[in-house]
Structures are given as C-alpha cells and as structure tokens.
Amino acid sequence: MADGFSSEMFEDSSIDATARVVDTGSDADERTVEAALRPRRLSEFTGQTRVCDQLSLVLEAAKRRGTPPDHVLLSGPPGLGKTTLAMLIGTELERPIRITSGPAIQHAGDLAAVLSSLMEGEVLFLDEIHRMSRSAEEMLYLAMEDFRVDVIVGKGPGATAIPLELPAFTVVGATTRAGLLPAPLRDRFGFTGHLDFYAPDELVTILERSARLLEVSADTDGITEIARRSRGTPRVANRLLRRVRDWAQVHGRQVVDEEAAHAALALFDVDDRGLDRLDRAVLDSLCRRFGGGPVGLSTLAVAVGEEADTVETVAEPFLVREGFITRTPRGRAATPLAWQHLGLTPPQGYTAQPSLPLDTGEGRFGA
Ligand SMILES: Nc1ncnc2c1ncn2[C@@H]1O[C@H](COP(=O)(O)OP(=O)(O)OP(=O)(O)O)[C@@H](O)[C@H]1O
Ligand SMILES: [Mg+2]
C-alpha cells in the first residue's frame, strides 16, 4: 500500500448513494467490509476491460517516462468501482495518494491548502469532484494545467495574488455526474474513463472473490442468482451476498444456495429483474400516476419521495440501460417493458419514445 493512503479518511467522507439497497447493517460496518473487499491491484479488478486496458497503458507509459501520468477522470453510476480504481492508480504508480472530496472543498483556500502541500508525483484523489465550489474549480483547472496557483492575500483594492509553483502531480477525479463539470475543467483531464454496469458473469467472478474473502461458502447457483439480481453493480452484489449469508445462517444452512438467495432477496424486496423498492416506485409512479409520461425529473422525484439527484444518478441509469424507461426532451417515459413488468396494460396506442443519451459527460441533459 502506498504511503499516505488512508482508507478510513476516505470512507468517512464518502457518500454512499446505493446505501438504500438492503441497508440493514450499521454504516460503519458496511464501510469496513466494503474497504476489505476492494481489489488491491489492477489485475484483481474484474470487468470494465476497456477502461482498465486504457488506464494501464496510460500508467505504464508514465512510469516508463518517469513522469506523473495525465489527470484521470472516472465517471459512472454509484458502486461500480470509481473509488476502487482511483486507489489502484496510486498503488500501481507506487505513489502516495491524497484523498479529499468536492463537498470538503467549499472555498478556493481549502484547495490551495491541499495543493500547496502536495509532493512531486503525488496522486490527488478528488471524489465527487462535481460538488466543489466554482472558485475552487477555477483554481483547480489552472493548477492542473500549469502546476501553479495564485494565492490571494488580503481583500478589496489591496488584495494581491502571490503565484505559487507546485510540483507535478496527478489529479484523479471521480463523479457520478460528469455532465455537471464545467467544460474547462473536464478538458484538463487527459484520460476519462466511463464505468458501465457489469455483466452477470463478471459479477459472478466478483462474488466468488468476495465469498472467499468473507469466508462464506456459496454454490454456483446461489452466486449466479445473486449476480443476476444485483443491478449490474458490484457494491449491490457484495451487499446482497452478505444478506443471503445472514439468511442462510439464521436458517441453519451451511451453504449460500439458490433457495437461500430466493428467500433473502424476496425478504429485501429485490425482484426478479434485480429492481429494488425505489426502482419499482419510479416505474409505478410513471405508469400509474402519469400514464407512462413523459414527466419531468423533479415531478417524478416528488412523487416517489426522493431527491431528484438520487432518482437521476441511482435509479435512472439502470432503468434506462435495462430498457424500462427512456429519457426524452420532455422528461422521463415508461417503455412497454415497464408496464409489462408491473403487470399493467399500457393505454391503447401507447408507444415508446426514443431515449436521449445518459449523463456520461458528453452532453448534459436536464428536465
Ligand atoms: N471491478 C470490481 N471488482 C471487484 N470489486 C469491485 C469492483 N468494482 C467495485 N467493487 C466493489 O464494490 C464496492 C464499491 O466500489 P466503489 O466504492 O469503488 O464504487 P464507486 O464507484 O466509488 O461508488 P460511489 O459513486 O458510490 O462512490 C467496493 O467494495 C469494491 O470492493
Ligand atoms: Mg466512490
């Protein structure tokens, strides 16, 4: 592990947007287990092959040149491995990693303090980078380009900018909302990796590893069933594995098998397609209250009693990817599959609307 690496430091400041999925254990316990299950080397990291191949090339080339690599931006829905990959960058480069997050940097001065204490070649991990203040964003993109910050001393007409040279460093930014980053900041990243949902067989590999680490004995059918119903998300898969293990333990079973998976997932409201309560509430509102839509994001969020941000970053990407809803210029709309999944019949002449792209940073979409 690289010097200066502190998982505790990070875990405390992390906001787990997928926590609502079968959230039973205490938060601290969940975070400890999560940290224990993080792959420590790029070679242990399953899936996201394209991003991993590209990233290892960038890192390897930088190592051979003996210079810090370009700044890296990792984007994608919660729980897919952004933090894990950021940590791996530090480990693979054998460089210390400094960890902070957007919400912790509310003033340019907070950022100046971090930047001015960086060492040559250090990796600065900025989680939830889209939640930094505007003034800090401006300071950051100048620092990323020129390795220099202007520290403002004093106020009003007497204020002076003192330029401060910084050693070369690498920023690794993580965000669930790349579309919210201002273009000048986004452009400063030499490499952007967008993480996508995992295929069930990749989740099987991840779950087998987790079961080994947690010393849970699980058979192939049990693991496959959990993988299939984990919303393509390793964090959800790992969490469901622990709940199924709980069920097996309480019912005196030695092995996590398909029956245990069925029973535990039913108990925790995870349906056959892996949709959880919020996912189904979104579909239910769309179909029953809004006749299938289109309906604006904020209206939909109020209807399901959630923050618009949670609906947009947590529920929506998976529902779009699985073909349950579409994003249209006038809002969100249900597809025939959504009606069918809820056991409802769409109104006569109901047609699906073509979907706009998700928020991957290539273009912002809001409704
Ligand atoms: N490719 C993977 N292989 C094995 N485990 C993984 C992988 N990706 C993620 N995980 C596991 O899933 C959990 C969540 O991953 P991580 O914290 O990196 O997600 P994140 O993208 O940073 O989420 P958030 O947006 O909520 O911060 C971790 O415990 C990690 O062990
Ligand atoms: Mg994270």
What sign does the CA torsion over 99, 102, 107, 112 have?
positive
- To 5 degrees, how large is the angle CA 302–CA 306–CA 311? 100
Q: For residue 27, tell me if it sits in a domain.
A: yes
Core vs surface per residue 230-268: b (16+ CB within 10 A) or e: bbbbbbbbbbbbbbbbbbbeeeebeebbbbbbbebbeeb
pLDDT of 23 reads 41
Residue where a domain terminates, one of 219, 243, 267: 267
Mutate to test the pocket of ligand 1, among 45, 83, 318 (most ligand atoms within 8 A of CB): 83
How much distance in Å is there from the Cα of 165 to the middle of ligand 2?
30
Burial class (CB in 10 A: 0-12, 13-18, 19+), 156: exposed
pLDDT of 303 reads 93
Counted domains in the chain: 3
Tokens standing for residue 221: 């059918």
Rounded distance between C-alpha atoms, residue 67 and residue 69, angstroms? 6
Burial class (CB in 10 A: 0-12, 13-18, 19+), 316: buried
Q: Specify whether 147 is located in the same domain as 24.
A: yes
Q: Specify whether 245 is located in the same domain as 151.
A: no
Residue 339 lies in domain:
275-367
Rounded distance between C-alpha atoms, residue 260 and residue 245, angstroms? 8
Q: Specify whether 183 is located in the same domain as 212.
A: no
**How many angstroms separate the Cα of 66 from the Cα of each of 2, 72, 121, 168?**
17, 17, 9, 12
Q: For residue 306, tell me if it sits in a domain.
A: yes
Rounded distance between C-alpha atoms, residue 222 and residue 245, angstroms? 10
Q: Specify whether 189 is located in the same domain as 206.
A: no
Residue 38 among known ligand-binding residues: yes
Q: Specify whether 33 is located in the same domain as 110.
A: yes
Kindly report each contact of residues 211-218 with a partner whose C-beta sits within 8 Å and lies 24 or more positions away, as own/partner: 211/241, 211/256, 213/36, 213/37, 214/33, 214/37, 214/241, 214/242, 214/245, 216/241, 216/245, 216/256, 217/254, 217/255, 217/256, 218/244, 218/245, 218/255, 218/256, 218/257
Beta strands in 27-153 (DSSP E): 72-75, 97-101, 123-127, 148-153
Q: For residue 354, tell me if it sits in a domain.
A: yes
pLDDT of 349 reads 72
Residue 60 among known ligand-binding residues: no
Residue where a domain terminates, one of 194, 215, 231: 194
Q: Specify whether 158 is located in the same domain as 223.
A: no
Q: For residue 356, tell me if it sits in a domain.
A: yes
| pLDDT tens per residue across all 367 residues of the chain | 333 334 333 433 343 444 444 443 456 777 788 888 899 888 889 999 999 999 999 999 999 999 999 999 999 999 999 999 999 999 999 999 999 999 999 888 899 999 999 999 999 999 999 999 998 998 998 899 999 988 888 888 888 888 889 999 999 999 998 888 889 899 999 999 999 999 999 999 999 999 999 999 999 999 999 999 999 999 999 999 999 999 999 999 989 999 999 999 999 999 999 999 999 999 999 999 998 879 999 999 999 999 998 999 999 999 999 999 999 888 899 999 999 999 988 887 777 666 666 555 443 333 3
Instruction: Provide the CATH number for the domain around residue 152.
Output: 3.40.50.300
In the 8-state DSSP scheme, what is residue 20?
Answer: T
Residue in the structure block whose two tokens are 């099987």: 204
Residue where a domain terminates, one of 219, 246, 267: 267
Q: Specify whether 185 is located in the same domain as 74.
A: yes
Residue 327 among known ligand-binding residues: yes
pLDDT of 304 reads 92
Q: Specify whether 361 is located in the same domain as 292.
A: yes
Q: pTM, whole model, 2 decimals?
A: 0.85
Q: Specify whether 132 is located in the same domain as 159.
A: yes
pLDDT of 365 reads 39
How much distance in Å is there from the Cα of 82 to the middle of ligand 2?
5
Instruction: Provide the CATH number for the domain around residue 358.
Output: 1.10.10.10
Tell me the catalytic residues: 82-83, 127, 176, 235
Q: For residue 88, tell me if it sits in a domain.
A: yes
- Residues 131/83, Cβ–Cβ less than 8 Å: no
The ligand 1 atom at the shortest distance from the C-alpha of residue 87 is 18
Q: Specify whether 181 is located in the same domain as 44.
A: yes
Q: Specify whether 234 is located in the same domain as 296.
A: no
Burial class (CB in 10 A: 0-12, 13-18, 19+), 360: middle
Q: For residue 341, tell me if it sits in a domain.
A: yes
What sign does the CA torsion over 137, 140, 145, 151 have?
positive
Q: For residue 1, tell me if it sits in a domain.
A: no
pLDDT of 361 reads 44
pLDDT of 178 reads 86
Instruction: Provide the CATH number for the domain around residue 223.
Output: 1.10.8.60
Which residues pair with residue 332 across a beta bridge? Answer: 295, 327
- Residues 54/193, Cβ–Cβ less than 8 Å: yes
Cβ contacts of 84 within 8 Å, gap of 6 or more:
38, 39, 45
pLDDT of 283 reads 95
How much distance in Å is there from the Cα of 27 to the middle of ligand 2?
15
Q: Report the candidate in 328, 284, 291 with the shortest Cα–Cα distance to residue 306.
A: 284
Type and span of the H or E element at 258:
helix 258-267
CA torsion angle for 81, 35, 105, 112 (degrees, to 10)? -100
Q: For residue 2, tell me if it sits in a domain.
A: no
pLDDT of 30 reads 76
Relative to beta strand 72-75, strand 170-175 is: parallel
Which residues pair with residue 75 across a beta bridge? Answer: 175, 194
Q: Specify whether 77 is located in the same domain as 60.
A: yes
